[in-house]
Structures are given as C-alpha cells and as structure tokens.
Amino acid sequence: MNERVKRRTLLRYMGALGAGLAVPGFSWAQAAKKMPVVAVLYAGDSEDDEPVVRPFYEKMTRLGWIEGKTVVYERHSGKGTRQYLTTMVSQAAGREPDLIYATTASLASAVVKETETAQVVFSTNADPVAAGLVASLAKPGKNATGVFQAARDSSPKRYELVRQALPQIKRMGAVFDRAAQDTQVRKAAHEKAARANGIELVSAEFTNFEAIAKIFAQFKRDNLPAAEITPSFALIGRRVEVAKLAAINGIALIAHRVEWAEAGAVLTYGPDVSESHKRAARIASKILKGAKAAEIPVERVDKSELAFNTRVAAELALHISKPMLQRADKVFS
C-alpha cells in the first residue's frame, strides 16, 4: 500500500469515528471491548470479608483477570443480616453482571432464586444438590456451579481436637441456627460426636442475632467455658461481634472455618476455605471465557485445616501445648 492510499484510508477511518462521535449516546468506551463485570457477594462487611476472599482475587489475577484492566469487580456486602440479604442479591443481579460469585450457601440460594439467567459460581459447605443449587455435582444443569466444601462431617474430629488441645473442657455449649438446613440432624450429630469424646454438650438454638448475647450469658451462668458456633449466615457475617460477646462472657469459641479463628475463636477445624476460593476462581475464569455454569461440574474440596488463636486463649487463661500448635495450619496471635 503506497503512502497516498494509507493517508486516504486513515482519513476515512477518522471520518467514521467523527461521524460516530456525532451520534447521540456514542462514547469512546464503545470503541473498546467492554470489560466483564463480576459481582462478588459477601456475607458480612467487606472490611471483614475481603481478606477471606483474597485467594479468589489472587487466583483470578494469576489467570489473567486483572482488576481495572481485564475485569471489573462489584463488591456487595450482606452486612451479616438476613433482612439485607434479599435486597443485596436483588441489587447485584439487577445490574446484570457477567458473573456472580456467591461466597456462602445462603447467598448462593438467594441468587439462584433471584435469577435464572445470570451465571453463578458459589463456594458452599452445604450440599449444593440438597440445597437446590444444582441438579447433580457432575451435571449442574442450571445457571450455577462452584465449589462444595465437602470435607466429611468434621464435628467428630473437631471435638477430638478440643479434647486434645483443651483437656480441661468437659462441658461446653453449642449454638445452632434454626434457619440453617437440617438443624435438628446436625444438632444430633454434634451431640453424639461430643459424647464420643467425653464432652457434655449443652445446645441452644436462635432465630436472630440479638439472641446470641442472651445465649452466651446463659452459658456463663451454666459455667460453660466454651461454645461451638455451627454454620450460620447470620453469624459468619457478624463473627467479630460474636467473638466480642463471647469474650465478655469469658467463653472460648470453637468453630468450623478459619475466619472464626482470625475473628477470635480459640480453635477452628473445617474445610480449607482458601482452596475453595482458588478453585472457584478457576471456574469463574472458564465462564468468563465462554463456558456455561450448567456444563461445569461442581468441584469438591476435601482438605481440612486447623487453626488456633493463641492471643484469645491466653486472655481466657487457656494453655495450648506446643505440639498442638505445631500441628496447626494457621496460628493467630
């Protein structure tokens, strides 16, 4: 192509751009490829949940999805309340993102009920088939897929660890959310696991967050030195507040996710949450590249992790032996 033809071609291109700019509603953004938008749903405040979900963002970056350059993230906070959950999910879905990442089972269920068209990736410790999120693990068949933290029921092992790490605890409380799936079945399983490890379990149920302060106060009156927090959207989203309430009553928290140890639980044992977020990122990347959630099998995470918070243990005059701390995957001090 000679210089004259090159100049003529350039002038035509500029003229076309100029004509486009004259059209109402035209913007330079239309000339560039639109970056995909991923809505990330948090159970609690973003300040508390952002560090927990960081493995998802880091893995996405390694896969080429760089925030502000190749992908846009819209972060939505559930503020740890069921009342706000529906509103938050509705707002997130209404913005029609290219993908929604729901970081808990409750969030995932709410999203799937809200929209049948948005592509959804979830990370959940509840059976996604029983929860109605997918038709099967191998063939989801709907608009959602993700990661199932399917470590075998970890409560027997958790009570075994309590007996080993905190042998002075012979009686403890356990808090169950009535809104959680299979609450009664889960309660019976926990009580059985506790008995098998020589621990008497005093169970309490709640329907709203405000009841937790009363439950802990009663545990204190009953001379229960520790209490287990079982899976609950209402509590995971407000875990820092729960930990403070426990501390006020001199109660050592035992829980199932490492976020609780960071918030103030003395001991946690359960599925590896970081691994779940990393796998969710790989699935999200596939969907952003054109795959459909209905066709991507749900991945299982069977790996578990043990964590201690030695600072809180010391405040409660509880001693955790060095061999036990050496077994931990994470120690917060």
pLDDT per position as a tens digit, 18-30: 434 444 443 434 4
User: Is the same domain home to 247 and 325?
Assistant: yes
* pLDDT of residue 227 exceeding 60: yes
DSSP state of 117: S
In what side-by-side order are the strands of the sheet with 200-206? Answer: 200-206, 171-177, 226-229, 252-255, 267-271, 304-309, 330-332
**CATH number, domain containing residue 221:** 3.40.50.2300
Give the pLDDT confidence of 171-224 residue by residue, as tens digits: 999 999 988 767 888 899 999 999 999 999 999 999 989 999 999 999 999 999
Torsional class of 93: left (φ above 0), alpha (ψ -120 to 50), beta (otherwise): alpha
pLDDT at 181: 66
Q: Which amino acid is at 275?
A: E
Six token digits for residue 9: 């071609």
User: Is the same domain home to 214 and 182?
Assistant: yes
**Longest CA span, the chain:** 92
As a whole number of angstroms, the distance between CA 299 and CA 286 comes to 13
pLDDT at 25: 45
Dihedral (CA of 96, 101, 102, 103) sign: negative
Least confident window among 15-29, 62-76, 126-140, 147-161: 15-29
Residue 311 lies inside a defined structural domain of this protein: yes
Q: What is the rounded average pLDDT of the residues 104-121?
A: 93
User: Is the same domain home to 263 and 167?
Assistant: yes
Give the pLDDT confidence of 52-101 residue by residue, as tens digits: 899 999 999 999 999 999 999 999 987 666 667 888 899 999 999 999 99
Q: Which amino acid is at 203?
A: S
**Tokens 């592509």 belong to residue:** 119
Give the confidence band of 48 by pLDDT, cuts at 50, 70, 90: confident
DSSP output for 218-256: HHHHTT--EEEEPP-HHHHTTHHHHHHHHHHTT-EEEES
Q: 174: part of which helix (H) or strand (E)?
A: strand 171-177
Give the pLDDT confidence of 6-16 residue by residue, as tens digits: 443 443 334 43
As a whole number of angstroms, the distance between CA 240 and CA 312 comes to 13
User: Is the same domain home to 327 and 317?
Assistant: yes
pLDDT at 2: 44
pLDDT at 185: 84
User: Is the same domain home to 127 and 261?
Assistant: no
Give the pLDDT confidence of 282-307 residue by residue, as tens digits: 999 999 999 999 999 999 988 899 99
Higher pLDDT residue, 114 or 46? 114
Residue 250 lies inside a defined structural domain of this protein: yes
User: Is the same domain home to 170 and 316?
Assistant: yes
Contacts of 278 (CB under 8 A, 6+ apart): 55, 56, 59
Phi and psi at residue 164, to the nearest 5°: -80, -45
* pLDDT of residue 270 exceeding 60: yes
User: Is the same domain home to 80 and 112?
Assistant: yes
As a whole number of angstroms, the distance between CA 158 and CA 193 comes to 9
User: Is the same domain home to 285 and 319?
Assistant: no
User: Is the same domain home to 285 and 145?
Assistant: yes
User: Is the same domain home to 170 and 144?
Assistant: no
User: Is the same domain home to 71 and 194?
Assistant: no
Residue 43 lies inside a defined structural domain of this protein: yes
Q: What is the rounded average pLDDT of the residues 118-124?
A: 95
* Alpha helices (runs of H) in 23-154, residue ranges in sequence order: 28-31, 46-62, 82-94, 105-114
Count of domains for the chain: 2
Contacts of 13 (CB under 8 A, 6+ apart): none
* pLDDT of residue 315 exceeding 60: yes
Average pLDDT of the residues of the chain: 87
Q: What is the rounded average pLDDT of the residues 225-248?
A: 93
Query: What is the pTM for the complete model shown?
Result: 0.79
pLDDT at 21: 41
Pairing of strands 120-124, 99-102: parallel
Domain that holds residue 112: 33-150+273-302
Q: What is the rounded average pLDDT of the residues 97-110?
A: 93
User: Is the same domain home to 199 and 182?
Assistant: yes
